[in-house]
Amino acid sequence: MTSFILASGNAHKAEEFKDLFQGVLTVSPAPKTLEVDESGKTYTENAYLKARAYYETYHAPALADDSGLNIEALPEILGVQSARFAPELSEYSDKCKKVIELLGGKDNRNAYFVCVLCFYISPDEVYFFEGRVHGTIGFALKGDQGFGYDPIFIPERKEQDGKSLAELPEWKNEFSHRAKASQAALHFFKESMDKSRKKP
């Protein structure tokens, strides 16, 4: 139950999860990336679709994540479609600029990232964990330590220095939406293992 195949062939993402799970859970990238129809209306549905597809293909417990950026003033864009936003733009830097352009001079720039993890152990044993990080959308791209929409997302922190997620790699490792979801999963699986060891 502690070894999972990642619903992605991305070795970098597998390494990231390996660090987050502190050796309690092991995650390996899939031998080949599958084309999964992410037709769900929620992060939970899409994470489930991906995890189930990899479980059925590789016959092993699978871990999938689905994440995205939600902007209060622009609820019709991004969300579960974050990765597919503005398909005519191939670079995320251009997608970020497009978001800033669409927000224009709106006063409400509140936003939040969501990550949902789905651990598909068997058809009868599926677990979900969610993490969120709140913040605002900046007026320009800042930083080069992140990816996706990190350069325009300014997370809520006690240090009100206006730094974007792409300028805060160490903070992100501990407090990002993916980190929070992973911490919840780690806590759950640790407790489950401890209970199993105590059974006579």
Q: Are 64 and 113 in contact (CB under 8 A)?
A: no
Radius of gyration of the chain (CA): 18
Q: Are strands 125-137 and 110-122 parallel, antiparallel or unpaired?
A: antiparallel
Query: 135 phi and psi, to 5 degrees?
Result: 180, -155
- 66 assigned to active site: yes
Q: Which of 148, 135, 36, 146 is nearest to 86 (CA)?
A: 148
Instruction: Out of 37, 66, 94, 161, pick the active-site residue.
Output: 66
Q: Are 108 and 72 in contact (CB under 8 A)?
A: yes
Distance CA 42, CA 56 (A): 21
Distance CA 102, CA 39 (A): 25
The catalytic residue positions are 66
